[in-house]
Amino acid sequence: MIALHLRLRPSTRRLAVAAGAIALAAVVIAPLSSTDAAQQAGLPLLTDRLWFRIATTVAMFVALASAWNVIGGLAGYASFGNIAFFGLGAYTTGALVSNLRWAFAPALLAAPLVSALFAAVIGLPLLRLRGHYFAVATLGVGVAVGEVVNNLGPLGGATGLFLPILRSDLLFFYLMLGTAALAVAATWVILRSRFGFGLLAIRENEEAAAVIGVNTIFYKVSAFVIAAALTGLAGGVFAQWNSFINQENVFAVSDNVEMILMAVLGGAGTVLGPVAGAVVLELTIETLAGGGSAAVYSQIGLGVLLTVCVIFIPRGVIDFFGGQSRLSLGYLRRTLRETSA
C-alpha cells in the first residue's frame, strides 16, 4: 500500500530476490566449512578468525541500524539514545553471567527485556519532544546511563566487567546473524501492518495522524520499545562474545552515530536500506581501520558521502533502485520511455 516500499519491475525483483538468496546462503553456510568435521571431510577452508570477527561485527550493525530504523526511520524520531539500550543489554547479560553465575542463554534473554522496560519508562516523557529536542534529550540519556554504570561498583565500575570466555566463533556469528534477521523481519512485518502505517503517519505529520485516530503516544512508545529490545539483544550477544565490557565499548556515542549513518545512507524507513548501509559502511570502516592515515581520509570521505547522499538521494541508496530520486534507474527508465514515445 505504501509509497515507501521498493517499487521494482517484476523481472528486476526476481533477479534481486535470487541474488539475495544466494548471498544469504553463502553467508550462512560458508562458516560451517571451518568446523573440525568439515575439515576432516576435506572441504576447503573458506573462513578464518578475522573473517568471523568482521562478519559478526557487520551482522551486529545490521541489527543496530535496523533497530534504529524502527524509531528513527519509520516513526521519524531520530534517537541518539539507542546506545543506552545496547549498553544496558550488554550489562544485563554481563552482570547476570559474571555476578550471579547465570547460564549465558537465560542471561541473554534478560537483556532485551531490561532494555525494553527502560525504553518504555524514558519513552513516555521523551517522546513528547520532537526534532532536535528529542535528539538532544536522548543523547543525554545515552551519556548519562553510561556514566551511571561506570560508577556502579557491583558492575565493575570504571574497570569494566569480565565474563567467562566462551570460545566459539561460530556460535556468536550465528547469534548476531539471528539478531540481525530478527530486526529485519520485524521491520518487514511492521511495514505491512496497521501499526507500521500509523508510524509512517506520525513521521509524516503527527497532528494529522492524531486527528484521524492514530494513538500517537502508544505507537511511538511501542516503536521505541521494539527498537530497544532488538538493540538490547545485540548488546547481550556482544557482552559474551567480547567477554569484556566497559563504558567505552558498549556506551560509545560514536556507535550510535554510526547506526544513524548506516540507516540514513542506506535508506531510512525501508526494510533493506539499513542492511545495505550497515554492510557497506562497516566493511569500508573495517578495511580502512588498519591503514594509518587512510583512516583519517576515510572520516572525511564519510562526511562527503553523507552530504552527497542527503542532497541527491535523501531517501537513501536503496531509492536509487526504487525510482523516486532523479539519479535513480527508475527515473532514467521513465524519462527514456516518455521521451521516446
Partner 1 sequence: MESAGGILPWSEWGHNSVSLLAVNDLGKRFGGVQALQGVSFTVQDGDVLGIIGPNGAGKTTLLNCVSGLFRPDRGDIRWQDRSIVGQAPYRIARLGIGRTFQIVRPFPSMTVRENTAMGALFGQPAGRLQPAEALRQADAVLDLVGLADKRSHPVLRLTVPDRKRLEVARALAMRPRLLLLDEVMAGLNQVEVEQALEMVRQVRASGVAIVLIEHVMKVIVGVCNRALVLNLGRPLLEGPPSEVLRDRRVIEAYLGERYARGGDA
Residues paired with 161 in a beta bridge:
245
Q: Write down the least CB distance from residue 197 to partner 1, Å.
A: 6
Q: Write down the least CB distance from residue 324 to partner 1, Å.
A: 9
Ramachandran assignment for 166, one of left (phi > 0), alpha (psi -120 to 50 degrees), beta (any other): beta
Sequence-distant (6+) residues with CB within 8 A of 28 are 177
Residue 9 or 14 with smaller CB distance to partner 1: 9
Q: Write down the least CB distance from residue 23 to partner 1, Å.
A: 29
Distance CA 256, CA 286 (A): 17
263 within 8 A of 274, measured Cβ to Cβ: yes
Residue 284 or 324 with smaller CB distance to partner 1: 324
Helix axes 216-242, 194-204, angle to 10 degrees: 100
Residue 161 parent element (H or E): strand 161-162
Residue 114 or 201 with smaller CB distance to partner 1: 201
Residue 14 or 334 with smaller CB distance to partner 1: 334
Q: Write down the least CB distance from residue 219 to partner 1, Å.
A: 9
Q: Write down the least CB distance from residue 264 to partner 1, Å.
A: 15
* Grid coordinates belonging to 91: 550489562
Residue type, 302: L
Residue type, 296: V
Residue 167 or 194 with smaller CB distance to partner 1: 194
Per-residue CA distances from 9 to 32, 272, 302, 326, 339 (Å): 35, 17, 31, 18, 20
Closest C-alpha to 87, from 266, 209, 234, 189:
234
Q: Write down the least CB distance from residue 208 to partner 1, Å.
A: 4
Distance of CA 301 to the CA centre of its chain: 22
Residue 206 or 286 with smaller CB distance to partner 1: 206
The residue ranges that bind partner 1 (CB under 8 A) are: 1-4, 192, 194, 197-198, 200-201, 204-205, 207-217
- Phi and psi, residue 90, nearest 5°: -60, -45
Distance CA 47, CA 33 (A): 7
Residue 90 or 315 with smaller CB distance to partner 1: 315
Q: Write down the least CB distance from residue 76 to partner 1, Å.
A: 11
